Structure 1
Amino acid sequence: MVSHIDSDKEDKNSFSAREGFAIFVRLLGYVRPYLKRLALGFVVLLIGAIMTAVVPLIIRTSVDQIITENNTQLLDQVLLLLIGIFLFQSILNYIEHIVMAYVGESVVANLRKRLFDHLQSLSMSFYNNSRTGDIVTRITSDSSLVQQSISFELVQILNQIITIVIGLIVLFVLNWRLTAIILLAVPLIFGLTFFLGLRIQKAANRMQTNLAEAANVVEENIQGVQVVKSFAQQRYENQRFSGNVHNTFLAALGLARLYASMIALTGFLGFATISITLWYGTREVLLGQFTAGGVVAYLLLALSVVAAMGISVMSYGQIQSALGAARRIFDMIDIIPEITEHPDARQLAAVRGEVHLENVSHAYEPNTSVLRGITIHASPGQTIALVGPSGAGKSTLVNLIPRFYDVSEGAIRIDGHDIRNVTLESLNQQIGIVPQETFLFAQSIAGNIRYGKSDATQAEVEEAARAANAHNFIVNDLSDGYETLVGERGVKLSGGQRQRISIARAILKNPRILILDEATSSLDSESERLIQDALNRLMQGRTSFVIAHRLSTIVNADWIVVLNNGQIVEQGTHTDLVDRSEGFYQKLYKFQFALDQSSAA
Structure 2
Amino acid sequence: MQTPSETKQQRKNLGILIELLAFIRPYRMKVFAALIALIVTAGLTLSVGHGVRILIDQGFTQQSLSDLENAIQFILVITLCISIGTFFRFYLVSSVGERVSADIRQAVFDHIITLHPSYFETNGSGDIMSRITTDTTLLQSIIGSSFSMAMRSALMCIGAIVMLFATNIKLTLIVLASVPFILVPILFYGRRVRALSRQSQDSMADVGSYAGEAIEHIKTVQSYSFEAQERASFATEVERAYEIGRRRVKQRAILISGVIVIVFSAIAGMLW
Higher relative contact order (CA 8 A, sep 6+): 2
| Residue number in structure 1 paired with 2:204 | 211
Stretch of structure 1 that moved more, 82-91 or 23-32: 23-32
1:43 maps to amino acid: I
TM-score by length of 2: 0.89
CA displacement 1:51-84 (0-9 Å, x = unmatched): 1222212322442223553213322321222122
- The answer to which structure has the higher helix fraction is 2
For 2:233, the equivalent position in structure 1 comes to 240
2:141 paired residue number: 148
- Alignment correspondent of 2:120: 127
User: Which residue of structure 2 aligns with residue 81 of structure 1?
Assistant: 74
RMSD value over aligned CA atoms?
A: 2.1
Aligned-residue offset at 1:267: 1.9
Whether contact under 8 Å (2:59, 2:71) holds in the other structure is no
Residue type at the aligned position of 2:122: N
Residue type matched to 1:140 in 2? Answer: T
Separation in structure 2 between the aligned mates of residue 128 and residue 259 of structure 1, nearest angstrom: 38
Distance 1:141 1:112, change over 3 A: same
1:169 and 2:130 are equivalent in the alignment: no
Mind listing any 5+ residue stretches in structure 1 that lack a counterpart? 1-11, 281-601
Distance in 1, Cα, partners of 2:58 & 2:117: 78
Matched, 1:110 2:103: yes
Q: Give 1:23 deviation, angstroms.
A: 2.5
Residues in 1 aligned to 2:179 and 2:112: alpha-carbon distance in whole angstroms: 45
Residues 313-371 of structure 1: CA deviation (Å, up to 9, x unaligned): xxxxxxxxxxxxxxxxxxxxxxxxxxxxxxxxxxxxxxxxxxxxxxxxxxxxxxxxxxx
Structure 1 ranges of 4+ moved more than 6 A: none
Give the alignment partner of residue 191 of structure 1, picking from 173, 184, 202.
184
CA distance in 1: counterparts of 2:176 and 2:130, whole angstroms: 43
Q: Distance in 2 between matches of 1:212 and 1:44?
A: 36
Residues 190, 27 of structure 1: alpha-carbon distance in 2 compared, 3 angstrom cutoff? farther
Query: 1:153 & 1:274 partners in 2: Cα distance?
Result: 27
Amino acid at match of 1:136: M
Asked if 1:48 is matched to 2:41, the reply is yes
State the TM-score, normalizing by the size of structure 1: 0.42
SS in 1 for 2:225: coil
| Aligned partner of 2:264 among 268, 271, 277 | 271
Distance 2:60 2:218 in 1: 77
* Counterpart contact for 1:207–1:248, Cα < 8 Å: yes
Aligned length: 266
Name the amino acid aligned to 2:87: Y
Aligned ranges 1:422-501 → 2 under 5 Å: none
> Is 2:255 the counterpart of 1:259?
no
Amino acid at match of 1:113: Q
CA distance in 2, matches of 1:21, 1:266: 28
Q: Which of 18, 22, 29 is the aligned partner of 2:22?
A: 29
Q: Contact 2:204/2:241 (CA < 8 Å) preserved in 1?
A: yes
- In the TM superposition, residue 255 of structure 1 has moved relative to its aligned partner by 1.9
Code of the residue aligned with 2:228 in structure 1: it is R
The structure-2 alpha-carbon separation of the partners of 1:79 and 1:61, relative to structure 1 and needing over 3 Å to count, comes to closer
SS at match of 2:241: helix
State the alpha-carbon separation in 2 of the partners of residues 18 and 186 from structure 1.
Answer: 28
Supply the AA of the counterpart residue of 1:41: A
Identity of matched residues, %: 25
Is residue 54–residue 71 contact of structure 2 (8 Å, CA) maintained in 1? Answer: no
How far did residue 217 of structure 1 move?
Answer: 2.0
Change (3 A) 1:276 1:68: same
Separation (CA, whole Å) in 2 of partners of 1:168 and 1:205: 34
Unaligned 5+ segments in structure 2 are none
Q: State the distance in 1 between where 2:10 and 2:250 align.
A: 21
Distance in 2 (CA, whole Å) between partners of 1:189 and 1:27 is 31
Deviation at 1:245, TM superposition (A): 0.6
2:214 corresponds to? 221
SS, match of residue 110 in structure 1: helix
Aligned residue in 1 for 2:88: 95
